[in-house]
Amino acid sequence: MLFFSQLQENKVVDASGRTAGKMHDIAMQLTGTFPQSQSMIISRFRRGRRETVGVPWDWVSSINSQEVTIDHSLEEIWKSRYEPGGMLLGRNLLDRQIVDLHGNKVVRANDLRLAEFDSRLRLMGVDVSQRALLRRLGLEKTAAFLMRLIGKDFADSTIPWNYVTPLELEEPDLRLTLTRSQLLDMHPTDIADILEQLHPEHRERLLDVLGTFAAAESLSEVEPAKQADVIEDLSEAKASNLLEIMPPDEAADILALLPRDKAERLLNIMGMEGAEVIRELLGYAEDTAGGRMTPDFLAVSSSFTVLESLDYLRRKAPDAETLYYVYVMDNEGRLKGVVSLRDLLKAPADQKVEDFMHRDVISVGVYDDQELVADVMSRYNFLALPVVDDQNLIKGIITVDDMIDVIREEAIEDLSHLAGIGLTEAAPPSFLRRLPPIAITLIGGIAAALILSVFQDKLAQFIALVFFLPLVLRAGQNIGMFSQAVVLEEIGGKEPGWREVLLLAWKELKVVFLLSFLMAAGVGLIAAFWQRHIALGLTVGITLLVTVLMGSLAGILLPVLSRRLKGELRYTQARFASLFISLATLTIYLGLATAFLTTSGL
């Protein structure tokens, strides 16, 4: 088995052993499952510039990892007028992006695996491993030796050629790319994975191969931030066509991420009806039910019979987001009830829908918080929820798959509160986003050092105070985090009033007071008996009692206050709270120690 990197730049000799140049590239004929060598390009430097010549593969008498032998003379080689055709391994494939149709991903061709059959080389696969890069740098053997020393080995990462499609072959006589049939055999989610990994210049080409409808379906599965990138790279006419075909709620999400002037131009190119629907969706905040809903839903008039309803659904079903529920409206579009498809199929054909519809419809308002919508959907195990305005006019529906995204986003937000830094699903925090919490930590460390310096004489006199510093510092912070998690779980997506906050605080503080009392009594007794000093036990016990309650109160108030703040401040205040608890604990502990131990004569 040979690799292209082992052959490239190898010495080429003629029939009598004279050096003719170096092997520059190999042209492959794209026939059969595995392409076979058709010709070779030889290069040499002459008079300060590179010269190349192509020779047919029939002239090659032998080839190995050391040299290539041509069965013609040096003069015949350089007088050859042979024009290589097909795919050039070095120019068209090596170091280029390829699509792994088996793994549904975009990878880089680090090397090419070849095999010799019937005096010709065949391209067997593409090596995408790190080992291939080491091989090209001449470090493969050294790296393999070091790996064996630690009992490891390089994993084989060769993709067979029949699972590979290049993306960048654009010679005048050659154009090889993903075919439409290959792409349409793939799931839209897998195509979306490929789109996300491609360079911008290749995305448009891939979308062209797919066709408008398949491209819109695949684009719907791409991550929202990258959807906007794809749309921005397309021409405005093509981008507008894709957005018009996509579900309106998804098109609105993409346009919300684009610059305002670009979004407005795309809307102006769209059809009037589609643009009007998307403009309405853009009018709602992203984290509300209106911002999450889709206007593509199925609703029938309350005056319809079962037969009329089924006929209507048969015509409208292809355009609907979901067929879980059929909503019933009056003549003015107000929500009156809901029926399931099962109910429709079981009912007599001439019975009116309003006779058996469920009138007690659970709905959400267009301005309700998305987390509240998720709570309602989870509580009642709904697959979809109707969204209504103040006049009970049905504006759209929210489906369960939308709520899965919301739950993930809200979980990340809750983690942001606990971590004290704004996290995102798309990317880890950058240097600048890490800077505020790091700055707070540095300020807190300096402040703590100043507090310790004030009490350094007392610490030097009674070193046992240091033994309990880690405990008293961590106890308040840990209990505060527990209380914060409890409150986040309780309030969910609601905006609690102060009465509800006070009741929740009272419920949590009762539990925490019992815990802090038991902790203070237990640790205080241990400190007193261990060091045989009652004043130390009192100091540790009272500090734990006060600071644990203080930490719990901070943990209760933090999630409530953070909802009234915007931007990074809503997350960094968790760091401020932690800093405050630490400094207050340190001051209380050392202050009490000074008072008690001075009284006791130390």
pLDDT tier at 177 (50, 70, 90 boundaries)? very low
The values of phi and psi at residue 98, to 5°, are -135, 160
> What integer pLDDT is reported at residue 570 of this predicted model?
53
Residue 446 lies in a domain: yes
Residue 154 has pLDDT above 50, yes or no: yes
pLDDT tier at 462 (50, 70, 90 boundaries)? confident
457-471 average pLDDT score: 83
Residue 114 lies in a domain: yes
Domain boundary among 217, 251, 283: 283
Query: Count of domains in the chain?
Result: 4
Same domain, 502 and 376: no
Residue 525 has pLDDT above 50, yes or no: yes
Same domain, 155 and 247: no
Residue 422 has pLDDT above 60, yes or no: no
Residue 97 lies in a domain: yes
Q: Over pLDDT 70: what percentage of the chain?
A: 85
CA 451 – CA 469 distance, rounded (Å) = 13
> What integer pLDDT is reported at residue 495 of this predicted model?
65
pTM of the model: 0.57
Select the more confidently predicted residue: 501 or 432: 501
Residue 351 lies in a domain: yes
Select the more confidently predicted residue: 17 or 578: 17
Residue-wise pLDDT tens digits, 279-308? 999 999 888 899 889 888 889 999 999 999
Same domain, 87 and 189: no
DSSP collapsed to 3 states, 529-540: HHHCCHHHHHHH
Residue-wise pLDDT tens digits, 20-42? 999 999 998 887 778 889 999 99
Residue 501 has pLDDT above 80, yes or no: no
Q: Over pLDDT 90: what percentage of the chain?
A: 18
Residue 410 lies in a domain: no
Domain boundary among 221, 256, 283: 283
pLDDT tier at 171 (50, 70, 90 boundaries)? very low
215-222 average pLDDT score: 86
> What integer pLDDT is reported at residue 53 of this predicted model?
92
Same domain, 576 and 455: yes
Same domain, 237 and 131: no
Residue 169 has pLDDT above 70, yes or no: no
> What integer pLDDT is reported at residue 427 of this predicted model?
45
Residue 377 buriedness (CB in 10 A; 0-12 / 13-18 / 19+): buried
For the chain, what is the mean pLDDT?
82
Same domain, 454 and 518: yes
pLDDT tier at 358 (50, 70, 90 boundaries)? very high
Domain boundary among 283, 309, 338: 283
Same domain, 443 and 543: yes
Residue 416 lies in a domain: no
Which CATH number characterizes residue 341's domain? 3.10.580.10
> What integer pLDDT is reported at residue 175 of this predicted model?
38
Residue 255 lies in a domain: yes
Residue 363 has pLDDT above 90, yes or no: yes
Across the beta sheet with 384-388, the strand order is 364-365, 384-388, 394-399
385-406 average pLDDT score: 88
CA 47 – CA 65 distance, rounded (Å) = 28
Residue 55 lies in a domain: yes
Which CATH number characterizes residue 58's domain? 2.30.30.240
Same domain, 253 and 135: no
Same domain, 502 and 593: yes
CA 375 – CA 372 distance, rounded (Å) = 5
Q: How far is CA 516 from CA 108, 472, 504, 558, in A?
A: 58, 11, 18, 20
Same domain, 157 and 23: yes
Which CATH number characterizes residue 219's domain? 1.25.60.10
Task: State the residue range of the domain holding 380.
Answer: 299-400
Same domain, 147 and 10: yes
505-509 average pLDDT score: 86
Query: What count of Cα atoms within 13 Å lies in the side-chain half-sphere of residue 181?
Result: 0
> What integer pLDDT is reported at residue 94 of this predicted model?
86
Which CATH number characterizes residue 553's domain? 1.10.357.20
94's tokens: 């090596």
Residue 143 has pLDDT above 50, yes or no: yes
159-181 average pLDDT score: 56
> What integer pLDDT is reported at residue 475 of this predicted model?
87
CA 193 – CA 189 distance, rounded (Å) = 6
Same domain, 269 and 303: no
